[in-house]
Amino acid sequence: MKSLRPVVVVLTGAITGLLFFQTVAAGSQGKGGKGGDAAVGIDSIQLINPTVPARDITAEIGGGGFLGGEFVEVTLDGALLDHSVISAEMIIATIPGSTAAGDHEIAVRAGDENKQSASATIRLGGEMIVSCISWFVSGPADEHLHTEVHVEDENGDAVIGATVTWEAGNVDGVYQTNVSATNDNDGHASELTTCPLDENGEPAVSGSGVTDWFCCIGAGKWDNEVPPGKRACPAGEYTARVLDVTPPAFTNMTWDEKHSELEASTELVDPKFP
């Protein structure tokens, strides 16, 4: 398996070294609304890519205390950014399209006191690739079928905190639409049935950057089937198809559909019932 080098977000201030997650607090002593005692805090930064390449990037900065000081200043690596203060909890700033890819620090300052500033690290650039849609079985007689999705960047490193949406279906049609963030674990790598293998016969996917796993239908004990008892998935072909991949928080990574695995199928043969 590939070495694990998960992408990491570093937040300056009170919190450092956090992995990408959808909700991250950044470097402050809290947040508030109007008033001289309001502390500035950054909770999230959503980066919105332009529809035309090389155009400016919009940064929606969520937090608090943005109206609590004598002025509001937004900088990227120390350089002032054009911005609009929408409310005490929201600022919209413009990042020049010429900004280099990589890590950058966004800072918000509303006054000269320590509590009137906060900063967070963002990452510009990068691509997300679905390296594998995996099916795997479990149960005493391999009667339960599950699916999970692996996401890597263009360098083959795990992407943590991306959100994947995919459909799972069988001969009867789509039975489930799954939504999950990618996690910092190896999922069920030792049980994968549909991921490619490397030269050593091991799964050729990162041991991280994997979604939660989702079971097939048919578990009557939990699906309120009356009478209960049918607890195996129906036999036949199962297919999963990726619908969307959205980037981790504090990034503007894009989904590379061209180089992603978009669909994977497997066959469930002769499932047994207890």
> Phi, psi (5° rounding) for residue 191?
-115, 5
Residue 18: the pLDDT is 32
d(CA 108, CA 270): 60
Residue 189: the pLDDT is 57
Residues 205-229 have pLDDT tens digits of 766 899 998 988 654 444 555 544 4
- Bridge partners, residue 131, by sequence: none
Residue 268: the pLDDT is 86
Q: Which two tokens stand for residue 8?
A: 């990491």
Residues 102-130 have pLDDT tens digits of 999 999 999 998 899 999 999 999 999 99
Owner of token pair 């080098």? 5
Q: Is the CB of residue 8 less than 8 Å from the CB of residue 208?
A: no
Owner of token pair 């009356």? 226
d(CA 113, CA 163): 37
Question: What's this model's pTM, rounded to 2 decimal places?
Answer: 0.78
Cα–chain center distance at 255: 11
> Which residues, given as ranges, of the chain have pLDDT below 50?
1-30, 32-35, 219-222, 227-229, 274
Residue 227: the pLDDT is 46
